[in-house]
Each structure stands twice: as C-alpha cells, then as structure tokens.
Chain A
Amino acid sequence: MFGKGLIKGLAITWKEFRSKKFTVQYPEQQHPKPERFHGRFKLDVDSCIACNLCANACPNNVIKISSEKVEKKKFLTKYIMNIEYCLFCGMCVEACNKGALKFTTDHDLTQYHYDAIPLVLVEREAPKPEPKPEEEASEEKGGKNAKAAAGKKGKNKEETPAASADKSATEEVGAGKAPEKEGQ
C-alpha cells in the first residue's frame, strides 16, 4: 500500500514522543567519567627525575622542562605545559618511566585570559647547595596539583611557607604542602 512507510514513520516518532529522554542536564547532572579520561595533567614531583622523555615524546613541543644540578642530582625547577598546543594524545603519560605524569578526570581547563592558559605544574627555585652534608630541601613536596576547583587560574594557590633550605628538616612523607608558586 502506498503510504505504509509514512505511517510507520509517524508511529516511530509517536513512540519517541512518549519514551524517556536522553538528555543529561549539565551542569547539575554529569556523565561519570572513566579513569582513563584525558583531562588535566598532574605531576608527582617526587617521582619526576627530569629525564625529558615526556618532552621528547610530545608531537607539539608542549612540555618545557628545566632542571638544575644540585649535589649531583637533578632538581626539577620548571615544568610548564603550553596547553594551548596540546592534543591530549597521551604520548607523554605513556613515555614516563616513573609514572610521575598522570591524567586526571578534570575537564574544566578554560581560562578567561590567554596568559593563564599554560599549566604551570612546577615552578620553584633550586635550593642552594649546602656546605654541610645535610639533607636537601626536599621538603618541598609537590602535592597533587590537579584539584578540580581551580576554575579561574590554572593551578592551586595554597600558600604555605616552603621550608627553607637552611633548616635541617627531616623529610615529611605525605604532608600535602603545596610548593610556592607565582600567581598569575
């Protein structure tokens, strides 16, 4: 019969009219994100040995690392990612031998000003080499920088006084003191 397909089409739309809607009302409801989601980056500053494998693996030269030699060990002073060029391909995370660089599930990376886009994961002064054979200033434990609340700036701004290099402080494992950073 001519017109059978037309009536079937109407029946399908009528069924859709009455069935459950697929909409997820963002931002009140959100889809749960998987663990492997390619979101914001986080760097475990203790595990990072500044080997530059991630910077070499990146197709777009997003990662800029600088380190200094302190007492025959490499001390990471700067780890900045130019997110505006990043493809979020994951080559850097895969290249890291020590598992220091990781993704988080935070997708909110928008900024209001162009200068605030680069993700400054570490930016700190190298400690002065000590004449005394004391422990290095490795108290500046890098906490996990990827807290989701950072909407306006690209990173956390928890000001805690970093332990100065002069003190012979013992290493505090697990203290979540964020290192000093310059605000932007």
Chain B
Amino acid sequence: MLENLFTNIAGSLRNLLDSAGVPPLWNDVTLLVVKLVAILVFILLNAIWLVYMERKVAGYMQARIGPNRVGPKGLLQTICDIGKLISKEIPINQGADKVLFLLAPVLVFVPPLMIFAAIPFGDGMVALDLNIGLFYVFALASLSTVIFWMGGWGSNNKYSLLGAMRVVAQMVSYELPMILSILGVIMLVGSMNLSEIISAQQNMWFIVTQPVAFLIFFIAAVAECNRTPFDLVEGESEIVNGPYTEYGGMGFAMFFLAEYASIMIISAMATILFLGGWLAPFGMTFIPSWLWFFLKMYVLIFVVMWFRWTYPRIRVDQLMGFGWKVLVPLSLANIFVTGIGMYIYRAIGW
C-alpha cells in the first residue's frame, strides 16, 4: 500500500479531474504541473535538510557537536540562517555587470529542476519518461558551467575571475570521463531510457559488473559538483570564495543551495546507473521502492560529505592532469574491456 502511495495520489487526482469534466489535454497538463511542483518542493526541502546534515556530519567528524541550540537538536538552524540571509543587503560592486551578476543566482536552480523531472523516484514514478533520458540529464548538467562563469565574470573582482576560470576548466574537463564511464552501462543495457536501465539491473546491479566505471563516475561527478577534494573553485584558503566572493544575502544562499541540489543529482544518477535505482536488494520488497531510492541516494550523499571532511584540496594543474591523463584513458579502457566482455558472453552463449 505504501509502495503505490504517490501513484495512487496521482491516479485519484486524475480521476477527480476526469469526473469534473476537464478535457484530457488539460488533465495531463495539470498533472504534469503538480508533479513538477512536487519535485521542486522535494529539491528545496532536501537542500535545506542537507545543509543541516552537512554541518552535523562535519561536527561529528571533528570531535565536536554541530549546531544544537536552535530548535530541538538544532533542526531549525537552516531556517534561521535563511531568514538571516533574506534580511541582508545584496551588495553590487561598482563596475559590476548588473545583468550577469543578478541573473546568475536566479538561474542556478534551473538545471537541477529540469534534471530531476526525468529521474525515476520509484516504480512508475517519473515525471517525464524520456527515451533519451540519460542524454538529457547530462546535457543539462553541462549548462551549469555557464552560470557559474556568469557569476564570476559579472563580479568585477580578480578573485572571482580566477575562480570562474577554474570553474570552467574543471567542469569541462571532468564531464568527459563522467560520460565516457557510463558508456559501458549503456552498452550493457542497449538503451538510454532511465527506467529501462533500472529494470536491466534486476538480477545484478551494475556496480558488480562495472566497478571501475562506478569509481570513475563517482570521482568525476564529485569534481563536477565542485566538492572537496576538487573544490578549488571556492577554495577558501586561496581565492576566498571564487565566483561567489561578491555575493551576499540571498544570492549567496542560492549558490549554496544549488550546490546541495547538484550533490543530490549526482547521487541520484549514481544510484540509478550503478546501484539499481529503486530496486530492492535481496528481494526485500516490504520497504517501498521510492524509500529504497531515497536511502541509497542518502548513503552516497554521506560518502560525498565524508570525502569533503577528510581530504585536502588539490591544485589546478594537478586537477587537470588527473582528469585528462588518468581518468579519460581509464574510462576508454573500460569501454574497450566491456565491449570485449560482451562479445565473449554472446560467443559463449550466455
């Protein structure tokens, strides 16, 4: 019963609209809008929760308790922080390009929202079931590069410019291994539809058959999000906050929340591609599928945070060297080996 909670809600809403005599086109459109609004609320609530979780995880790993004064166990900390940030002035530099400067924090939430529309949260719970779902997701992920660049350029500040240059270099170079590493998965499944990728993992999750690809994908995805050890974009010790230096108040909050939204995206993608999406491991179907998806996503988010609070950050030239000289050849080798493996499988007749 719990399994089909959300599909039942959607179904009853559709019946309601049908019985009210709404034409089928408007029926579909309204349902789509409701689903998108639900996804937006999901992203925002999760981003707010992740801010708190990050601070608590950071505190616990550093032999201290995180926030624990505001609200019970500190749960209302993020709400108060957002309240404080809303009340602040957004300073605009003299000589800053106002259009770019103000547009960047507004647009930064658009790619995550569009990506989440195509992700299957559970059995039959996709807002947009696209046949080229994977392609769509990664095409949109590349768009965020431009938005960070806008923020850095529009600030008229040397530190921001350095940060923006680093962002572009980093995100462009790490997209390549990210996409090459999942080509192995696409070869195994034969389709780019996200729901089909999940169904193809019913017998065995792809992390078992493609461990190297998982590792490469995870590392490249962490680099895409600008998280430590690859957070030299906003590396506080050197360029004080990179492209976000000149932003105050809600502008800063937007970038901050968007970073958590992108962490959610990469965890969701890694779950779908390698960890079986909403499929229950060992047949434990008493936990609904969307809850499994949620749990797997959060395990990966915890690992991302664990990386952040353990590792120092690497330098720009080492970052580029690592991306181009290590990850790209490895992912190409992975495709090669997967191809040979598939050929041998078919030849043996399995």
Q: Are A21 and B310 in contact (CB under 8 A)?
A: no
Residues of A within 8 A of B63 (CB): 16, 19, 21-22
| Besides the known contacts A10-B306, A13-B309, 4 further A-B residue pairs in the complex with CB atoms under 8 A apart | A13-B61, A17-B61, A21-B59, A22-B64
B interface residues (Cβ-Cβ under 8 A, vs A):
57, 59-65, 68, 306-307, 309-311
Interface of chain A: mostly helix, strand, loop or mixed: helix
Give Cα distance in the complex from A17 to B53, angstroms: 13
Residues of A within 8 A of B311 (CB): 6, 9
A interface residues (Cβ-Cβ under 8 A, vs B):
6, 9-10, 12-14, 16-17, 19, 21-23, 25
> Which 8 A-B residue pairings sit nearest by Cβ, starting from the closest?
A13-B310, A22-B63, A9-B310, A13-B61, A23-B64, A23-B65, A17-B60, A17-B61
> Could you give 8 example pairs across A and B, Cβ below 8 Å?
A6-B311, A10-B306, A10-B307, A13-B306, A13-B309, A16-B61, A16-B63, A21-B63
Give Cα distance in the complex from A22 to B59, angstroms: 10
Q: Are A21 and B60 in contact (CB under 8 A)?
A: yes
Interface of chain B: mostly helix, strand, loop or mixed: loop
Q: How far is the CB of A101 from chain B (nearest CB, A)?
A: 38
Q: Which residue of chain A lies nearest to B229 when distances are taken between CB atoms in the complex?
A: A6
Residues of B within 8 A of A9 (CB): 310-311
Residues of A within 8 A of B309 (CB): 13
Give Cα distance in the complex from A146 to B57, angstroms: 43
Q: Which of A6, A13, A14, A21 contacts B64 (CB 8 A)?
A: A21
Give Cα distance in the complex from A21 to B64, angstroms: 5
Q: How far is the CB of A20 from chain B (nearest CB, A)?
A: 8
Q: How far is the CB of B214 from chain A (nearest CB, A)?
A: 15
Give Cα distance in the complex from A171 to B60, angstroms: 61
Q: Are B65 and A16 in contact (CB under 8 A)?
A: no
Give Cα distance in the complex from A85 to B57, angstroms: 42
Q: Are B65 and A14 in contact (CB under 8 A)?
A: no
Give Cα distance in the complex from A14 to B310, angstroms: 9
Q: Are A14 and B62 in contact (CB under 8 A)?
A: no
Q: Are B61 and A21 in contact (CB under 8 A)?
A: no
Q: Are B65 and A21 in contact (CB under 8 A)?
A: yes
Residues of B within 8 A of A21 (CB): 59-60, 63-65
Residues of B within 8 A of A10 (CB): 306-307, 310
Give Cα distance in the complex from A52 to B136, angstroms: 84
Q: Which of B57, B310, B311 has the most CB of A within 10 A?
A: B310
Residues of B within 8 A of A6 (CB): 311
Give Cα distance in the complex from A25 to B309, angstroms: 23
Q: How far is the CB of A74 from chain B (nearest CB, A)?
A: 52
Residues of A within 8 A of B68 (CB): 25
Q: Are A14 and B306 in contact (CB under 8 A)?
A: yes
Residues of A within 8 A of B62 (CB): 16
Q: How far is the CB of A163 from chain B (nearest CB, A)?
A: 50
